[in-house]
Amino acid sequence: MPLSTNPVNPDVPEVALDTELSCTEVWKSMIQLRETGKVKSIGVSNFPVRVLKTIIAETGVVPAVNQVEAHPLLLQDDLVEYCKEQNIHISAYAPLGNNLQGELRIIDHEVVKKLASELGKTPAQVLIAYGVKRGYSVLPKSVTESRIRSNFEDFELPDDAYNQLVELGRKHPLRYNIPVNFSPRWSVNIWDSEVEKTATHRAF
């Protein structure tokens, strides 16, 4: 859902949303920008299947990429499969997890640390390799030079290790980044999760 030109609502501690402008209208503007030749490819972020279907049906233009939170605890099989069918590349943010909600980061999970030890890799390298094996481009963040260099040391994750991570996600699904939990709050339901039912708007 688009942001208002005045993104912070002064009356309540939440982001002001532009409820009159649909995602499709924004997408049409991006299509026009591509047609000028100023950009080669256009994509979206945090689009669930229902919104992807809507913008494609209403414009006939398929996004080149959908950037979403993705890691072993957030498999999103339906979204991954749909993007694959439509040739939409998935770019994974927060591939190592985060602690925005006070939850254990996936990088600190015992299963991940155990696999890293067995493979002689860092937990971050294991999670990056997982994302690559899923077909994602992976976007880990770090401000530490040694970690940045380490993250470039890619390897192919063995099938057994990959399957253990998938099983972990089946048993303990978790989304770290939910806009209704942000501060300031985004009162929008994007993923139809239980906590998002309190939102006053739904992405369309």
The total number of structural domains in the chain stands at: 1
Tell me the chain's radius of gyration from C-alpha atoms: 18
Residue ranges making up the domain that contains 162: 3-202
pLDDT tens for the 204 residues of the chain, in order = 554 555 555 666 788 888 888 999 999 999 999 999 999 999 999 999 999 999 999 999 999 999 999 999 999 999 999 999 999 999 999 999 987 778 899 999 999 999 999 999 999 999 999 999 999 999 988 778 877 788 777 899 999 999 999 999 999 999 999 999 888 888 899 999 999 998 988 887
Q: Considering only CA atoms, which of 88, 16, 15 is closest in space to residue 51?
A: 88
State the pLDDT at residue 13.
76
Angle formed at CA 198 by CA 194 and CA 199, multiple of 5 degrees: 110
State the pLDDT at residue 6.
57
Rounded distance between C-alpha atoms, residue 115 and residue 110, angstroms: 9
Please count the other Cβ atoms lying within 10 Å of the Cβ belonging to residue 86. 14
**Alpha carbon of residue 141 to chain centroid:** 14
**Predicted TM-score of the model (pTM):** 0.90
State the pLDDT at residue 10.
64
Question: Do residues 128 and 157 touch, judged by C-beta distance below 8 A?
Answer: no
Rounded distance between C-alpha atoms, residue 161 and residue 167, angstroms: 10
State the pLDDT at residue 9.
56
Dihedral Cα 12, 199, 103, 161, nearest 10 deg: -140
CATH number at residue 117: 3.20.20.100
Rounded distance between C-alpha atoms, residue 7 and residue 89, angstroms: 29
